[in-house]
Amino acid sequence: DTAVSQTPKYLVTQMGNDKSIKCEQNLGHDTMYWYKQDSKKFLKIMFSYNNKELIINETVPNRFSPKSPDKAHLNLHINSLELGDSAVYFCASSQGGGAGANVLTFGAGSRLTVL
Amino acid sequence: GDSVTQMEGPVTLSEEAFLTINCTYTATGYPSLFWYVQYPGEGLQLLLKATKADDKGSNKGFEATYRKETTSFHLEKGSVQVSDSAVYFCALSRSGTYKYIFGTGTRLKVLA
């Protein structure tokens, strides 16, 4: 029983294409996140949703659009892919987000390679 | 703004050596502090956490103590194993925000 599952695990595509990554959690958490990890392992928050409401939207190009159809799902759509979008994208979830001590549970990551 | 600073890696040790990975933070108020570990090809997973000053988090032989006076949360293990080879991330979160701030990660290599 995977707690946070992402699909696909690997994605190779050409510049200019549009792609989506899906994320689902079965933990009953109310907050979900997208993080981007670059080749140097630096981890940066992109978006966060709490009960389907967008609460964090960091400085991310408009080509990235998250969608949360319900609190168990958070998808990431990327338009007009660029070389610099190549990275590992991690979905995560937590219960209560801002309560400080709540732990993030991460998915296994989706490695995006843009050629 | 809030930030987390970790020692740069990679850290290379022999099996059974003592490990310290330094982490310091800048934050207003009283954040919660975490260590996450990322094994090759996997997502991050919680290693340990501490929620207030002088708390000690521990798990799998790893320990870290929340030191408010030095704003530090250094990770230690008395005897590392090859299986501990991974990237370790220090992180903080503050009550009232949904942001978890991560350090840059420290890669640990343990040689047999």
Condensed to tens digits (0 to 9), the pLDDT of residues B28-47 reads: 888 999 999 999 989 999 99
- Higher per-residue confidence, A55 vs A14: A14
Interchain contact, B94 vs A100, CB within 8 Å: yes
Side chain identity, residue B72: S
pLDDT for B63 = 98
Interchain contact, B99 vs A56, CB within 8 Å: yes
HSE, side-chain direction, 13 A CA sphere, residue B7:
15
Inform me whether the C-beta atom of residue B2 falls under 8 Å from chain A C-beta atoms: no
Inform me whether the C-beta atom of residue B74 falls under 8 Å from chain A C-beta atoms: no
pLDDT for A25 = 96
Smallest Cβ–Cβ distance between A100 and the set B44, B46, B93 belongs to B93
In which residue are the tokens 């919680």 written? B46
pLDDT for A101 = 65
Structure letter (DSSP) for residue B88: E
Residue B98: is its pLDDT beyond 80? no
Are B32 and B49 spatial neighbours (Cβ–Cβ below 8 Å)? yes
pLDDT for A98 = 54
Smallest Cβ–Cβ distance between A31 and the set B43, B46, B98 belongs to B98
Residue A16: is its pLDDT beyond 60? yes
Mean pLDDT lowest among A39-43, A107-111, B66-70: A39-43
In which residue are the tokens 């958070």 written? A74
pLDDT for B49 = 95
Interface with B, mutate which of A7, A41, A53 (most B CBs under 10 A)? A41
Contacts of A59 (CB under 8 A, 6+ apart): none
pLDDT single digits (tens) A33-88: 999 999 888 899 999 998 888 988 887 899 999 999 999 999 999 999 999 999 99
Interchain contact, A104 vs B51, CB within 8 Å: no
Which token pair is B67? 């030191």
pLDDT for A90 = 96
